[in-house]
Amino acid sequence: MKISARNFLKGKIKTVNPGVVNTEVVVELTGGAEMVSIITKTSADSMSLAPGKEVYAIIKASNVMIGVD
């Protein structure tokens, strides 16, 4: 797999919560941190996403926001 994004993290799917249009996927990363992604239900179905499956969380953003109290 070759991708243009520079930031990707390997993990295993913890939960898959399908909705009518979108699916929430919780990925447990190496080290125990979790990342949540909302993808289309069609994409989740086409990749056969299920708990325990190894995946990559791929991050490509033009900006990252920081906030403080």
1 within a domain of the structure (yes/no): no
User: Per the structure, how many domains does the chain have?
Assistant: 1
* Residue environment code for 33-65, b if the CB has 16+ CB neighbours within 10 A, otherwise e: eeeebeeeeeebeeeebeeeeeeebeeeeeeee
27 within a domain of the structure (yes/no): yes
Range of the domain at 50: 7-59
24 within a domain of the structure (yes/no): yes
The CATH number covering residue 12 comes to: 2.40.50.100
Per-residue confidence (pLDDT) for residue 60, from 0 to 100: 79
64 within a domain of the structure (yes/no): no
Q: What is the DSSP string of 9-51?
A: EEEEEEEEEE-SSEEEEEEEETTS-EEEEEEEHHHHHHTT--T
This prediction has a pTM of: 0.83
Along the chain (69 residues), what's the average pLDDT of each consecutive run of 10 residues? 83 96 95 93 96 92 76
23 within a domain of the structure (yes/no): yes
